[in-house]
Amino acid sequence: MTSPVSPREIGVDPAAEALLASVVADAREGQYATYHRLRTMAPLLRTSNGTLVLTRYEDCATAIRHRDLGAARPTVWSTHGRAGASLHSLVGILPFSDPPDHTRLRRAVASAFTADAVERLRASVTRHAETCVAGLADHGDFMAAVARPLTLHVTAELLGVPAADRPFLATVAQAAAALVEPFTDEPTLARTAAAARELYAYFTDVLAEKRRHPAPDLLSRLESSRDESGLDTLEVVALAATLFVAGCNAAHMLGNGLRALLDTPAQFALLRRRPDLTASAVEEMLRYDPPVQVMARRARTALTLAGLEIEAGALVVAVLAAANRDPDRFTDPDRFDIIRDEGPHLSFAGGAHYCLGSQLARLQAEIVFSRLPAVWGRIEPAGPAVLRPESTMRRLQSLPVRVHAA
């Protein structure tokens, strides 16, 4: 059970708020140490603008499942902790909608992400993964050779995006990926909005083509069932763009996972000896270093959370990555342990906004991390990993490696 709330936990703590601002300002290698300090200093931090920041597992788990905490759109967060302008032009995007709209949107695509539907993709995912893994020696960067091309092709095939359009879309999707960041700066927000507009324009044209010439893909099904699903044109376009960006973002789960293995050679050796541990290893990768580190929610009505009264409209921030390393929930949480069996992490969120593509992301990871040790006898770092300069996401720009044949 969560310990009783103390005055220090709920008061405005300038030192803790300064720590939070440093995390928001820049992705850092010491981010997890900062999360631990935040949890110790003020596990229920009320910032100067009234935002409630949660870092304990139990509090975060409650928040992301709470029915009265709705979606929050990307927001500019100044160094003083004040929320600024948000991106109000987003319509029909799953992460930023609430029931009943969210229910309609999710229902329209849910059948493509059931366990059975994902299993039917196994052969295709395996084929792409084998090609990408085999090419790792020629390229030397895991992100460029494996993670990004695999997730791009798997997502594009599922949706029905023509092969010729995929390189362009991959570049635009990288810029639009900041949509899932709850806090950002004005220039990034502007670039993100511009990328979103490009994606909307592209998918408007593609969906029109799918209506004229349907194919056995998700975009064709979305367009042909628009009247039945009750979605308008903009919602269908936004849904297509969201699914594409989210699918490509699975690349960062793969990158963070391999980096964890490279940083703990004993665990990599154990996985090589015990391929039956692959599924368990993937869950530990997700717990240990998730791409989406923070989730923001907006109070739809006045409510009580973690013993605190929350006003309607207040912002609640669940630091999922901190919750995943809460020592009250996980033993020795900073240790990467592929045989860990201590219950679920929060990396795919929860409740109505539980990640729709979680099973497909897991499938890709399990295939990649079973093929890597089988194809390459040794994989080792060839230089420092390079983090992209986001604040609340952990995304690698590059992960240089050397491989040696098995």
| Residue 181: burial class (beta carbons within 10 Å; 0-12, 13-18, 19+) | buried
For residues 64 and 59, what is the distance between their CA atoms, to the nearest angstrom?
9
Whether residue 91 is predicted with pLDDT greater than 80 in this model: the reply is no
Residue 192, pLDDT score: 79
- Contacting residues for 265 by C-beta, under 8 A, at least 6 apart: none
Share the mean pLDDT of the chain: 86
Residue 123, pLDDT score: 97
Token code pair at residue 147: 């993670």
Residue 79, pLDDT score: 31
Residue 12, pLDDT score: 52
Q: pLDDT above 70 covers what percent of the chain?
A: 85
Task: Assess whether the previous peptide bond of 100 is cis (omega < 30° from 0).
Answer: yes
Residue 96, pLDDT score: 65
Token code pair at residue 306: 């973690």
Place of tokens 């015990």: 274
Question: Out of 86-100, 114-128, 235-249, 333-347, which region has the weakest mean confidence (pLDDT)?
Answer: 86-100
Give 267-307 pLDDT, tens digit per residue: 999 999 999 999 999 999 999 999 999 888 999 999 999 98
Half-sphere exposure of 233 (CA within 13 A, CB side): 9
Residue 13, pLDDT score: 61
Whether residue 90 is predicted with pLDDT greater than 60 in this model: the reply is no
Instruction: Compute the radius of gyration of the chain from its Cα atoms.
Output: 21
CB 231 within 8 A of CB 105: yes
| Domain span holding position 147 | 7-405
State the pTM of this model: 0.90
**77 lies in a domain?**
yes
Residue 20, pLDDT score: 67
CB 377 within 8 A of CB 167: no
Give 247-270 pLDDT, tens digit per residue: 999 999 999 999 999 999 999 999
Whether residue 136 is predicted with pLDDT greater than 80 in this model: the reply is yes
Q: pLDDT above 90 covers what percent of the chain?
A: 60
Domains in the chain: how many in total? Answer: 1
Question: Out of 51-60, 136-145, 176-185, 355-364, which region has the weakest mean confidence (pLDDT)?
Answer: 176-185
For residues 192 and 185, what is the distance between their CA atoms, to the nearest angstrom?
11
| Residue 250: burial class (beta carbons within 10 Å; 0-12, 13-18, 19+) | buried
Whether residue 6 is predicted with pLDDT greater than 50 in this model: the reply is no
Question: Out of 13-22, 140-149, 175-184, 347-356, which region has the weakest mean confidence (pLDDT)?
Answer: 13-22
Residue 30, pLDDT score: 77
| Residue 120: burial class (beta carbons within 10 Å; 0-12, 13-18, 19+) | exposed
**308 lies in a domain?**
yes
Residue 392: CATH number of its domain? 1.10.630.10
Q: Residue 232 — very low, low, confident or very high, per pLDDT cuts 50/70/90?
A: confident
**27 lies in a domain?**
yes
CB 205 within 8 A of CB 145: no
**2 lies in a domain?**
no
Q: Residue 26 — very low, low, confident or very high, per pLDDT cuts 50/70/90?
A: low
**374 lies in a domain?**
yes
Residue 255 sits at the vertex; the CA angle it makes with 363 and 194, to the nearest 5 degrees, is: 95
Residue 86, pLDDT score: 38
Q: Are strands 376-381 and 315-319 parallel, antiparallel or unpaired?
A: unpaired
Q: Report the Cα–Cα distance between both ends of the chain, in Å, rounded.
A: 48
**205 lies in a domain?**
yes
Higher pLDDT, residue 367 or 236:
367
- Contacting residues for 154 by C-beta, under 8 A, at least 6 apart: 121, 124, 125, 128, 247, 360, 364
The number of residues in the chain equals 406
**1 lies in a domain?**
no
For residue 253, give the nearest of 369, 160, 331 by alpha carbon: 369
Higher pLDDT, residue 318 or 178:
318
Place of tokens 């029915």: 67
Residue 341, pLDDT score: 95
> Which bin fits 68, alpha (ψ -120 to 50), beta or left (φ > 0)?
alpha
